[in-house]
Structure 1
Amino acid sequence: MKRRMRLLFATVTGAAVLSSTFVASSAASAQSLAACTLTATDVTKITLGDSYIPLKDDLKVDLSVAVKDPYGPKATEYPVVDTTKDASPAPALKDRKWVVKPVVTSATAEIFRTGETTASQSIALTGAPGDLPVPQTADGIPETTEKLAVAAVPESVDLKGQFVIKETDKDKAGKWTVKVTVTRTSGGNTAGNCQEFDVSGKQEVASGSVSPSTIQLKRGQDVPVRITASVKNATGVSAELRPHDGSMWINVPLTKEGDGNYRYTAYLADDTSPGSWYLVIKGTRGKEAIEATGMSFTILAPEDGVAPKASSKVTIKAPKKAKLGKAFKIYGKAYRGSKGYSGKVLELYFKKKGKKSFTFYGFAKATSTGVWAKNVKQKYDGYWRVVVPGTSKTKKSYANSSLVDVK
């Protein structure tokens, strides 16, 4: 059974601030987009960051433009200019400064939203090339005062900028266009460099279901449960099964299938808490996260009771210190009884220092001898937890790391 999910809340972090380099485009500055394509002789590549309509705060999208021949058309040698030739008194030869002058002086990017021919934003790109110094010999004399060999002159330069996608652009999802105008001293403005890019709509949890809606647990067996979710415009999707009494929860990694829906089959052990449960669907994109509740379902205790179970345990080792944003390894060993728990999929959690609860991070799979390892990253001082999920034949267990300090 499927039914519309009610959005509980949407959290957004890392709110963007509009850069002072952004100015509104006027109709006069915008030119026709007809026949406007990428000109390989001028701009070889335009690269954009992930573009989507934000849930709440403005989204800043990085823009990089590779401009060809920043010091003029490719040649065997480039002219050298003495920038101190007019100084008075004239400096000694070793004190003079010879350079190759750039021909690219600036560049501007305009953003056109879906269906619009007038730019909504104009961005002054940064990183225009400067004077290229001529290499000097050991005694300070320039290697050349006439022509500089092509090997010393870069063939392209990357210019940078950012543009903003607002929550109020929600009706403009679809194909946007970026148009780049490069200003050159020798060739004027080159305004014909355009590239389309996709701007996705807002993240949205459309529906979710648990099948069957009434789950009868069975003594000594793991009962399959199918979870299905329809989530739009998210890059990370997962689910949780939560009891209404808050006694436990089950993390579910969803996989996107050919029809665009996310699915996974979870297996419930015979000692899963009976009662009323509900489904939670989560989505992430960039720094945004959404969470929505879906249908309720019922879990019934096994009619013959819970079967005796083997014990489990797990160890965890983590470094005392870690570099901010750099990957490091945590590892350990999982046991079932006195032997390594072969092939067991373990759950990893992280708790920020000062917080009361752990947050699900991901999975790690044990080897045939029970050894497990995982490369992780963390932004804050905190603790790691590894969990051996219980089954109908094995008890649940967990272990926590000592504090990992981020530097």
Structure 2
Amino acid sequence: MEFCQCGSGFQKEKCHNTDDINKIRKSLRVSVLPKESDMDRVTTFFPLRSLDFSNASYTGILKFQLASTPAGHIIYPLFVKKANRGLRPLTIDGQIIVYDDSVEMVSIPCMLTPIHFGELIFHSKDIKAGSFSIGEATVKCEIRTKGNPFESVFSMEMKGEQIALYHHTSKENEKLILETGYFKSSKWNIQGTNELTTFHNVYFTNIPKVEDEYDLFEIGMCDKGTDLSIITDNNETEVIEVYRENPLNRPAALKVWVDWNLISTNHLILHNDKASHLAPTLLGTFSWWEIFMPFIFRVPVKLNSFLRHTINRKKNEYRLNYGPEFYKTNGFSAALGTDLHGLKINWSEVRIPRTQARQSDYGELDNEWVNIWKNNFTKLVDSTLEEMLL
């Protein structure tokens, strides 16, 4: 029996009935509105919705970061792994902490894929002592969801802590990568318009093939340059320039095994409960964190440097090697979904001064952020349990 690669858990013939993984991925990830007559522009958005597949529970490994944000400390799930497949969660919907006989149980509700809502559950006693020395930890966890997201096109092949990613480039650059024995870093930010001044990045993605403008957007590019709009939760918009590229210019897709400890933490966006991705749910709406540009994977290195690789010529696969040029950073930017200024910083990765600075601009606790995050999915669960008890 062959299951559909959307992760529904249904037979392929009774679901999407295709082996084209890019077609399945875009059908689940992309929604397009008609062109606006005055601007001749297509509006694209990326819906997140939990589909009603069969309940499922899996045992896996969670890699997470205890992160400090203007909304307070949060548990940031970086990767979750089951056997030889891995996922990067797309949202952080809350954090539920339950104490039972002095044992702390933690549950992180999140979207595992665009169509799979899940809960990542672990016990604090299972976290290895001293594992937070680098700000991150791994722990055995239970994964409660519907269907099988680890069979989906959004899951990644894994070997231990190595993730199979892709580096899309030209045939000429593919030859240089092979001949020199290393991946050269890019000096450009995610937006592709400003040079980074502290460290540079080697960029990867989990998208196996770049075919069109939708694939380009997922890796921070556009085929026409200045045609990407930032839209806030309260519908304020601004068109920004991003790196211009033609999908045909990157026909070489290099498969590269990358240690998940080398990958930078992605930026975050905190949405209020009016912009809940699952609104309306049976429990109501809630605030949540969006993982910014989740299909971009950055490996930071020192300025103008590189990381060497080892190539398996038989399989035509590369392995990225750790080296002295690697630049470890756990930092990331965070923005409110209603704050155009902050969203622009996520794209530009440049600190743009405000007319009136906010505490959040310096990573400090900010009352507005704190109050928004109080309305996360955890509050809905707590209130529902309270109603059941009364």
- Calculate the TM-score normalised by the size of structure 1: 0.23
**Larger proportion of strand:** 1
**Larger proportion of helix:** 2
Please say which structure displays the higher CA radius of gyration. Answer: 1
Answer 1 or 2: higher relative contact order, Cα 8 Å, separation at least 6: 2
